[in-house]
Structure 1
Amino acid sequence: MKKIIIIFSLLALLTGCDNGLDPEIYGSLTPANFPKTESEYELYTLEVYKPFTSKWGYSDGGISQNLFWGYEYSNVQLNDACTDLMSVAGAQGLFQEISKANFLILKNENTRSHIEKIRYISKITTIIGDLEKATTISETAKARFIAESKTARGILMYHLLTMYGPVPVILDANLIGTDAEKNLTRPERGTYVNGIIQDLLDAANVLEKSPSQYGRFNKGLALTYLMRTYLNEKDWSNAEIVGREIVDLGYNLVSNYKSLFVPSTERNTETIYAISTDASANGGGLLGNMNAYSWYCYPVDFPGITQNGGWLGPNAFFTASWEFYDSFDPADKRRELLIPSYLAVNNRGGIPAGGTRDRSNMSGAVIMKYPDVETSSFARGNDIPLARYADVLLMLAEAINNQDGPTSEAIGMVNSVRSKHGGLNNLSAGDTATKDAFAAAILKERGWDLFFEGYRRIDLIRFGKWNQALQSVGKTPGPALFPIPEYKIQQSNNKLSQTDGWQ
């Protein structure tokens, strides 16, 4: 199998079988006997990867949890579907309300809510504390395991910050199991952000660019999230410093944009880190990660490559808005992953098989970013990028522009993305005439290159364009951050304050 499959079950360490009969229990795991060896500490560390999977969800202490890189409540849904990039979803309920940018529905979330990742951060803190005290593993292995754990913690904290603002987390293992866990008061923003920065700095100082095992966290990923954190806080100077450090690692843009999202070429010079998926997976059990986006993006009568039709009709769960489709230069090769018309392969979408689906009867263009090239089942083996070099170049151009205006270097970074991925000419003189004009061009370029990768809401907030962008596609903007679910506020005895705008 081409993928790394991280298995969290310790069953093999607990039981054995005698002549194929009932299992014989040899012992139980306790802090006194596990972990002890270096291989056991590595297995223990791999628990930090559990939220970095692409399945239907994961279990944390018996509580089912949503995933940032899953499907429902994913980064794509929470950061792209609610913006100008995508039209209102065909499904009722959760999908439709979030696609309208109506986040009120999130107030009524249950314990699957992403806010519960504050508990997982405590778990990671415990793992880090145990690793720091370990005496039976090499210092090299200890440093690597701690770096992986801090990468996971820093990334989770970053995403929670972009969703809710600062949230209560425990970063000191000595406080786990004390009354500190009951204190759900929000920390000061600076304290919280410094926690993210320190974790990612520590991790980047240890991790390699290319670990021997594909799918393990790497230096480029830690640095990319560090850069995103600085950018989110509008610390342009430090964002530039980190961006240049990533450039020095030697990544390069690919010349075929489509190749970034198909299994045969998903390992390339541009993708810094991706969630490894497997076509034999089904979203559950120990079969590994899956990519089921074609089922969410294809209308029920869509003629795929190996898959005819998705789950929903006549319009899919995720659909690109016509305004976004029309914003592309018609010559832009990246627009080829958005399908404006097709002939129906069946009558399940409300028109006869062979009939034409187009603007007259589609809510938007079909998103084909992860094409069904590998299998006819609902799962795909298309890896899901978390960090790409094109994103780094566009962020670096943004950081430079906010300090020095549209320098030739920053303009060249944007033009390289346009040329390599879109096959387009350089930006016009008008696009680079002023700092504001160049910022607008960068934001457009980010949409065209990073659509359906889960960045847009965060970008619009940072660029100050949230209201304007939503109104341009007929959506009604409200608060851009998400409300804390009511159950969590009650659980905290009202110590956890509601997100601004949702009081």
Structure 2
Amino acid sequence: MKKLLYTVMCCCALASCTNLDSERYDAINPDFFPTNEKDAEALVVGGVYAPFRSAEYSGVFSTAHSFQVIGDMSTDIAVCCWVNDSWIPLTTHNWTPNHSYTTINYTDYAKYLGTMTLTLDRISNVEMDDAKKALLVAETHMGRGWLAFMLYDFYGPIPIPTLEDLQNPLDEIIEPRATQEEMTNFIETELTESLKGLPTRTTEFGRFDKGLAYTVLMKYYMHEKNWAKAEECGRELMKAEYGYGLMDNYADIFTLENEGNKEIIFACTEARGTNLQLWHDHALPGNYPTQNTSIQKWDGYKVPWPFYHTFEKGDDRLTVLVGEYVGTDGVLFNEESDIAKHGTLYSGAVPVKYGEDPESTGDGSQIDLVVYRYADVLTLLSEAIVRKGNAVTSEALDLLNQVRVRAKLNPYAMGDVKGVDDFLQKVLDERGHELWFEGVRRSDLIRHGQFIQNARDRGCTTTKDEFVLFPLPQAVINEGKGKIIQNPGY
């Protein structure tokens, strides 16, 4: 989608003027826009694609405070060395409805559900090629379903704005939170509807396709513990027409040279002059040696030492999760020196993850930010098969072993597995080692029933059983005038 990036940037202002409750008609006049296919395309790119980006501090996948980063920071897999009010509550499970980082993704992006609903209505009446209209409609359904699922995973059911409410901005309408059934039906219906018009595999990298839709559906079904449907999605994604596969080397997934590789299902497309992601800015210590010395390094994100030590010796993924190096200042970085600098709780190995951008002259990298990839699907499918049948099968073991072997680890034999529970724990561990800082750890721990206990084991004395959901922003509760109810425990 790189040739669309400029359009996204130009259209974001249109999307940002829309919230859940009302539509600013001075921003988009439906009597004059959209009137043709080009207008409809611009409206979808600006109103539907705009949130799904990583553009410095903007987008649901921003490396500063994305769903991925915030989710992982609430687990044992991630920590931030910047010990301040933004990050401490995530590490210690001491967040509140007024904590900015646990609520920021609701505050900034829930309004896009209204934008997408209006977009769907507006493009439906535009005369254009039938195939093009079907694609734009499908992309809009995909955007609504995907964003709704991400918000649901973090916050539970949320208000879903209706078209009628959005078209009457002068009426003071407060939409209550959807019921559990309404929310799940909305997500599943939107994602399923998108399959009718999306291509199997897009030829324009960065646009939505069926591969993405089935991946999000699979994650939704895993969230709802519908193992049979999750398995169906996983098997669909294994079909040859999708063309997915594992890269030979883990580090090669995340390099500039291998953008759009066969393992990536969806990535935020980056390009100098339009969108840049800030991974290395946030993750690399100031003395970390890089060939490009202009790369910004703020010594922020780490993978805590206790989790780092759960990796097996010889795991190839440790080539980009660095536990020891000699800095550009000649100082040795290791566990001892890092703890001496940052303390036990806020220290860890360096999550290099991505290759270098040779053209970086300061903030930001043009390397596409990976959102979903095939290793995620294979390990989820392995889990779904075992959960559905309550038995460890050779197929499930083989799926898990594909990821292990790529990491240059010995495959598990059936004799290494001591029953279903042991296998599921092995899947959970493997996904942690494979997908660190890719935003799956929180949902994985919740699904395995370990999220809260994991926090307590790390010494979080303020966590609660209800903290499997983040709170809605207090401002939303206040403005809801009793019609929008806060999550339990807050």
Same topology, TM > 0.5? yes
Whether 1:53 and 2:90 are equivalent positions in the alignment is: no
Match of 1:369 among 353, 356, 360: 353
Amino acid at match of 1:482: F
Secondary structure of the structure 2 residue equivalent to 1:327: coil
Q: CA deviation at 1:430?
A: 5.7
Report if aligned partners of 2:97, 2:472 keep a CA contact under 8 Å in 1. no
Find the partner of 1:141 among 114, 132, 147: 132
Aligned pair partner of 1:453 in 427, 438, 445: 438
User: How far apart are the structure 2 equivalents of 1:155 and 1:176?
Assistant: 20
Distance 1:74 1:431 in 2: 37
- Asked if 1:296 corresponds to 2:295, the answer is no
| SS of aligned partner of 1:94 | coil
Q: Please give the secondary structure, in 1, of the residue aligned with 2:266.
A: strand
Aligned CA RMSD, in angstroms, stands at 2.4
CA contact (8 A) 2:34 2:122 kept: no
Alpha-carbon displacement from aligned partner over 1:166-225 (angstroms, at most 9, x marks no partner): 00112x434423489723322111211111111111112321133232211111011100
Identical pairs, percent: 30
Determine which of 462, 476, 482 is the counterpart of 2:447: 462
Equivalent position to 1:336, from 307, 314, 319: 319
- Does the 8 Å CA contact 2:256/2:355 hold for their aligned counterparts? no
With over 3 angstroms needed to count, the CA separation of the structure-2 counterparts of 1:212 and 1:230, relative to structure 1, is same
Residues 26-37 of structure 1 correspond to what in structure 2 (within 5 A)? 30-37=29-36
**What's the counterpart of residue 117 of structure 1?**
109
User: Quick check: 1:215–1:273 contact (8 Å CA) kept in 2?
Assistant: yes
Equivalent residue runs for 1:422-433 within 5 Å:
422-429=407-414, 431-433=416-418
> What residue identity is the alignment partner of 2:376?
D
Q: TM-score, normalised by structure 1?
A: 0.85
Per the alignment, residue 272 of structure 1 pairs with 265
Residue 399 of structure 1 is matched in structure 2 by 384
CA contact (8 A) 1:151 1:203 kept: yes
Q: Which whole-Å CA distance do the structure 2 matches of 1:133 and 1:288 have between them?
A: 31
Residue 497 to residue 307, structure 1, CA distance change in 2 (3 Å) = farther
State the alpha-carbon separation in 2 of the partners of residues 181 and 120 from structure 1.
Answer: 19
Question: Which residue in the other structure is 2:122 paired with?
Answer: 130
Secondary structure class of the residue paired with 2:336: coil
462-471 vs 215-224, greater mean Cα deviation:
462-471
Question: For residues 204 and 475 of structure 1, what CA distance do their matches in structure 2 show?
Answer: 42
1:475–1:431 CA distance, 2 compared to 1 (3 A): farther
Letter paired with 1:250: G
Unaligned runs of 5+ in 2: 12-26, 339-346
Q: Matched residue of 1:142: which SS? A: helix
Residue 252 of structure 2 contacts residue 258 of structure 2 at CA under 8 Å; is this kept in 1? yes
Superposition deviation, residue 475 in structure 1: 4.0
Q: What amino acid is aligned across from residue 335 of structure 1 in structure 2? A: L
The 2-side partners of 1:376 and 1:56 are apart by: 13
The residue aligned with 2:14 is none
Partner of 2:166 in structure 1? Answer: 176
**In 1, are the aligned partners of 2:256 and 2:368 still within 8 Å (CA)?**
yes
The structural deviation recorded for 1:76 is 3.0
1:428 shift after superposition:
4.7
Shift of 1:317: 1.7
CA shift in 2, pair 1:355/1:407, >3 Å = same
For residue 454 of structure 1, give the secondary structure of its aligned residue in structure 2. coil
Contact 1:447-1:456 within 8 A present in 2 as well:
yes
Give yes or no for the alignment of 1:253 onto 2:253.
Answer: no
In structure 1, distance between residues paired with 2:416 and 2:112: 44
The 5 Å alignment of 1:152-301 reads 152-170=143-161, 172-178=162-168, 182-248=173-239, 249-278=242-271, 280=272, 287-301=273-287
- Cα distance in 2 between the residues matched to 1:200 and 1:216: 15
Kindly indicate whether the alpha-carbon contact (under 8 Å) linking 1:298 and 1:367 is maintained by their aligned counterparts in 2.
yes
Deviations 1:294-333 (A, max 9, x none): 0100112222231477543xxx221011111111111110
The separation in 2 between residues aligned to 1:84 and 1:109, in whole angstroms, is 18
How many aligned positions are there?
A: 458
Q: Does 1:42 align with 2:41?
A: yes
CA-CA distance at 1:499 after TM superposition: 1.2
Cα distance, 1:342 vs structure 2: 1.9
The alpha-carbon distance between structure 1 residues 376 and 43, as it changes in their structure 2 partners (threshold 3 A), is closer
C-alpha displacement at 1:276, in angstroms? 0.4
State the shift of 1:253 in Å: 1.1
Say whether residues 1:355 and 2:331 are aligned partners. Answer: yes
**Amino acid of the residue matched to residue 301 of structure 1?**
N
Q: Are residue 320 (structure 1) and residue 310 (structure 2) matched?
A: no
Kept in 1, the 8 Å contact 2:103–2:470? The answer is no
Distance 1:184 1:166 in 2: 12
Q: CA deviation at 1:100?
A: 2.9
Residue 90 in 1 paired to residue 66 in 2? Answer: no
Deviates more, 1:174-183 or 1:491-500: 174-183
Per-residue deviation at 1:417? 1.1
Q: Helix, strand or coil for the counterpart of 1:303? A: coil
Shift in CA distance, 212/320, structure 1 to aligned 2, threshold 3 Å: same
Farther-moved stretch of structure 1 (473-482 vs 226-235): 473-482
Alpha-carbon distance, 1:480 to partner: 2.5
| Kept in 2: contact 1:208–1:219 (CA 8 A) | yes
Instruction: Note the C-alpha offset of 1:122.
Output: 0.8
Distance 2:110 2:68 in 1: 21
Match of 1:16 in 2: none
Alignment correspondent of 2:488: 500
**Equivalent residue of 2:87, what SS?**
helix
Kept in 2, the 8 Å contact 1:3–1:276? The answer is no
Instruction: Measure, in 2, the Cα distance between the counterparts of 1:52 and 1:219.
Output: 16
Q: Would you identify which runs of 4 or more consecutive aligned residues in structure 1 move more than 3 Å?
A: 1-4, 8-11, 105-113, 178-181, 307-312, 428-431, 471-478
TM-score normalised to the size of structure 2?
A: 0.87
